[in-house]
């Protein structure tokens, strides 16, 4: 009997502590998953509060937060201000990432090959079929290009990465805009689809004469040959943390309503043009206010202490000015 | 003694009636439980069909029957333009090629195991086949992506392309360029995945052939091949086809492994070395990031797979019935 009582008492204690330190739940984009889980782990060690993030995809994350089944949703594609108003939600960019075009060509070093958005669009449209095409040679007069067919590799699964890539192509290549457009899944004119960033990275590294697009971290980890890109200002830029941050710093965050900024093709001499932010979505008046407050605490902590962890994983922290603005938004919009 | 028989006498008729009614109650309960179980299958199936139809309704209204023979798949167009021809083609072609490979190999293994194999080798081979069935499909997908795909693209595909180059029809089916991710590679993975279904079931039904039948055939001088062909296979035909149907059902619906290795292109290309897609691969790839009409279209694809599988299995049943009639059973 005593034994039973102990168990019941222990159970009650466990239940009360877990109710006290409410675990925050979030769901959405797969792209920031490694970052959010690293943050959550460090946060748990520091505060004892856990965070459960399910990387189920941006679209599914939006649906979950709209249905109020999670404390926050995460999406690589910002919601339009009118949609946010309708759902009574706010959004803000939590971190940034960048995409790089990667190739598998004999004798070509990383950063040696130069692309423009228009050229990448034509390759992905299937209009440019061989590596020694005059259009590629024109941008790369010093590089010896093989006369082999280009194997185009792209994502097969709907993804925020694909949204950033196709959005960039739409902004820089008029024909791409009308034929394929921007979206998490589009009508691909050519190429083979591989699953996930790791799928594209693996396929490009195995296939000679192929081209693909992956997040910077995957290109770095898999030692893939990335290309340089000509940005909106007409300058050739290499994919570096500085170039990614320049794109974010040059974006008009202040003028944008509800942080509705798509970071591709931003102005500025140093800006890397294929950059994207990943967004957090929350209700202004959440049903579970305690959990909502906990989540804000976590994101505040991440802004303050998470930068180094983000950089270790090749994500780009939000610039200081943007963080200040976001913190103002929190205190103004979130009802406690 | 006397006391005991007295008790028994007194208790006898009363207990008998009680025991009988208890049996009856048990029987009725058992009858209804099993019946409920059987009916629940129909309810679940009906529920699935209903929710698929409800989910697919916006797409059905938008695209109608044209969904079946439209090839363009443009989810980001406004409004989305969706057609199922590419995935349907891919599903049928990959399943067909997979079965063409898996049926002879699977039956071959089963015949070897039951008729020819020395006893000591039986267990290892049988175990290997069962293990093949236990491997998760994502492992097949990864293996296909990293090992089988590159191997086929570097050796088998160039060979086939050069052999059939210039030959009408076959030349277009086996056309280049070689690809790591293709319809054929996915079919081969599927063939390996469905092999255990065909083999395990065939082995089990081959064991049900009465030894006396086989012995009689051997007795009149039949060879092993003749015994298998004229005694074992005809005797177990229904069971073998059942196994094949199970395998076909798996091949039609297999998702994860195929998604990894098929190349996910909605365009129909004449070469089987070109990338393609299947219904389940398309749904698995795009569902998480889809909404509105796009998602409804994916659910409609799911409904289509449901109907497709139903028709294929129904056709197989029909064929089986014909065979039975012809055999005079």
Q: Residue range A211-223: average pLDDT?
A: 90
Comparing alpha-carbon positions, the chain B residue that sits nearest to A199 is B260
Q: Residue range B140-167: average pLDDT?
A: 91
What is residue A16's predicted lDDT score, i.e. its pLDDT?
Answer: 42
In three-state secondary structure terms, B83 is coil
* Cβ within 8 Å, pair B289-A186: no
Comparing alpha-carbon positions, the chain A residue that sits nearest to B177 is A149
Query: Between vectors from CA A272 to CA A268 and to CA A275, what angle results, nearest 5°?
Result: 115
**Percent of chain A beyond pLDDT 70?**
93
Q: Residue range A146-164: average pLDDT?
A: 89
Looking at the complex, report in whole angstroms how far the Cα of residue A127 sits from the nearest Cα belonging to chain B: 16
> What is the tens place of the pLDDT at every residue in B277-294?
999 999 998 887 788 899
Comparing alpha-carbon positions, the chain B residue that sits nearest to A189 is B267
> What is the tens place of the pLDDT at every residue in B226-247?
999 999 998 898 889 888 988 9
Mutate which of A27, A33, A56, A59 to disrupt the B interface (most B C-beta within 10 Å)?
A59
pLDDT at position B250 over 80: yes
Q: Residue range A237-263: average pLDDT?
A: 87
Residue pair A185/B289 in contact (Cβ under 8 Å)? The answer is yes
* Cβ within 8 Å, pair A184-B289: yes
> What is the tens place of the pLDDT at every residue in B103-147?
999 999 999 999 888 889 988 998 898 898 889 999 999 999 999
pLDDT at position A92 over 90: yes
Which single residue is written with the structure tokens 């590629």? A136
List CB contacts (< 8 A) between A203 and chain B. Answer: 145, 180-181
pLDDT at position B6 over 70: no
Mutate which of A148, A195, A198, A212 to disrupt the B interface (most B C-beta within 10 Å)?
A195
| pLDDT tier, A13 (very low <50, low <70, confident <90, very high otherwise) | very low
pLDDT at position A265 over 70: yes
What is residue B329's predicted lDDT score, i.e. its pLDDT?
Answer: 53
> What is the tens place of the pLDDT at every residue in B13-52?
678 888 888 889 999 999 999 999 999 999 999 999 999 9
Mutate which of A66, A185, A207 to disrupt the B interface (most B C-beta within 10 Å)?
A185
Comparing alpha-carbon positions, the chain B residue that sits nearest to A56 is B288
* Cβ within 8 Å, pair A185-B291: no
Residue pair A244/A316 in contact (Cβ under 8 Å)? The answer is yes
pLDDT at position A271 over 50: yes
**Percent of chain A beyond pLDDT 90?**
50
Q: Residue range B302-323: average pLDDT?
A: 86
What is residue B12's predicted lDDT score, i.e. its pLDDT?
Answer: 58
Q: Residue range A23-35: average pLDDT?
A: 87
Distance CA A323, CA A301 (A): 11
Among A56, A59, A195, select the one facing B259 at the smallest CB separation: A195
What is residue B99's predicted lDDT score, i.e. its pLDDT?
Answer: 95
The burial of B134, by beta-carbon neighbours within 10 Å (0-12 exposed, 13-18 middle, 19 or more buried), is given as exposed
Q: Residue A91 forms beta bridges with which residues?
A: A281
* Cβ within 8 Å, pair A195-B260: yes
Q: Give residue B221's region: left, alpha or beta (phi > 0; psi -120 to 50).
A: left
* Cβ within 8 Å, pair B180-A60: no
* Cβ within 8 Å, pair B72-A187: yes
In three-state secondary structure terms, A127 is coil
pLDDT at position A325 over 80: yes
Q: Residue range A257-285: average pLDDT?
A: 91
Sorted by sequence, the CB contacts under 8 Å of residue B258 that are 6+ apart come out as: B94, B141, B186, B189, B190, B278, B280, B281
**Sequential DSSP letters for A56-122:** --HHHHHHHHHTT-SSEEEESSPPPHHHHHHHTEEEEEEEEEEEEEEEE-TTPPTTTSEE-HHHHHH
pLDDT at position B219 over 90: yes
- Looking at A18-22, A164-168, A194-198, B63-67, which range is the least confident one? A18-22
């Amino acid at each position: 009997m005593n034994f039973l009582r102990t168990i019941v008492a222990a159970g009650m204690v466990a239940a009360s502590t877990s109710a006290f330190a409410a675990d925050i739940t979030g769901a959405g984009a797969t792209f920031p998953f490694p970052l959010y889980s690293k943050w959550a782990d460090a946060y748990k060690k520091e505060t004892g509060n856990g965070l459960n993030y399910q990387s189920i995809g941006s679209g599914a994350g939006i649906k979950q937060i709209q249905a109020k089944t999670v404390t926050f949703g995460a999406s690589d594609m910002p919601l339009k201000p009118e949609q946010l108003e309708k759902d009574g939600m706010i959004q803000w960019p939590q971190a940034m990432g960048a995409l790089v075009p990667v190739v598998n060509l004999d004798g070509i070093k990383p950063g040696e090959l130069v692309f423009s958005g228009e050229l990448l669009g034509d390759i992905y449209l299937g209009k440019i079929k061989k590596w020694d095409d005059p259009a590629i040679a024109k941008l790369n007069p010093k590089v010896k290009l093989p006369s082999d067919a280009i194997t185009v590799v792209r994502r097969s699964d709907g993804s925020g990465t694909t949204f950033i890539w196709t959005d960039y192509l739409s902004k820089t290549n008029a024909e791409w805009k009308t034929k394929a457009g921007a979206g998490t899944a589009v009508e691909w004119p050519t190429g083979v689809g591989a699953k996930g960033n790791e799928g594209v990275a693996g396929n490009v590294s195995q296939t000679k004469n192929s081209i693909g697009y992956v997040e910077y971290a995957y290109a770095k980890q898999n030692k893939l040959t990335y290309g340089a890109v000509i940005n909106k200002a007409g300058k050739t830029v290499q994919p570096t943390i500085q170039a990614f941050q320049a794109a974010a710093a040059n974006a008009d965050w202040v003028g944008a309503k509800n942080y509705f900024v798509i970071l591709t093709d931003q102005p500025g001499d140093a800006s890397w043009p294929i950059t994207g932010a990943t967004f957090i979505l929350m209700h202004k008046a959440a049903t579970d206010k305690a959990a909502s407050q906990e989540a804000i605490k976590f994101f505040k902590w991440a802004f303050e202490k998470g930068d180094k962890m983000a950089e270790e994983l090749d994500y780009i922290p939000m610039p200081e000015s943007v963080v200040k603005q976001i913190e103002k938004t929190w205190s103004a919009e979130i009802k406690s | 003694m006397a006391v005991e028989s007295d008790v028994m006498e007194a208790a006898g008729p009363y207990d008998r009636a009680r025991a009988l009614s208890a049996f009856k109650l048990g029987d009725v309960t058992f009858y209804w439980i099993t019946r409920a179980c059987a009916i629940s299958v129909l309810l679940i199936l009906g529920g699935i069909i209903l929710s698929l139809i409800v989910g697919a309704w916006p797409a059905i209204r938008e695209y109608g029957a044209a969904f079946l023979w439209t090839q363009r798949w443009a989810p980001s167009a406004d409004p989305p333009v969706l057609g199922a021809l590419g995935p349907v083609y891919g599903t049928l072609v990959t399943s067909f090629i997979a079965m063409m490979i898996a049926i002879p190999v699977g039956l071959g293994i089963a015949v070897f195991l039951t008729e020819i194999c020395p006893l000591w080798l039986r267990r290892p081979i049988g175990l290997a086949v069962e293990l093949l069935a236990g491997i998760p499909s994502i492992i097949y997908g990864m293996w296909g992506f990293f090992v089988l795909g590159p191997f086929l693209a570097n050796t088998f595909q160039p060979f086939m392309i050069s052999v059939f180059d210039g030959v009408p029809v076959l030349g277009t089916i086996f056309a280049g360029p070689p690809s790591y991710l293709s319809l054929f590679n996915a079919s081969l993975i599927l063939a390996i995945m469905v092999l255990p279904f065909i083999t395990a079931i065939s082995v089990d039904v081959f064991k049900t052939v009465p030894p006396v039948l086989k012995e009689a055939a051997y007795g009149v001088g039949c060879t092993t091949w003749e015994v298998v062909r004229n005694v074992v296979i005809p005797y177990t035909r229904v069971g073998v086809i059942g196994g094949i149907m199970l395998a076909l059902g798996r091949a039609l619906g297999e998702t994860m492994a195929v998604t990894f290795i098929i190349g996910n292109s909605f365009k129909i290309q004449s070469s089987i070395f070109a990338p393609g897609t299947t219904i389940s691969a398309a749904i698995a790839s795009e569902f998480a990031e889809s909404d509105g009409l796009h998602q409804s279209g994916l659910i409609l694809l799911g409904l289509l797979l449901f109907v497709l599988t139903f028709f294929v299995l129904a056709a197989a049943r029909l064929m089986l019935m014909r065979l039975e009639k012809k055999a005079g059973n």
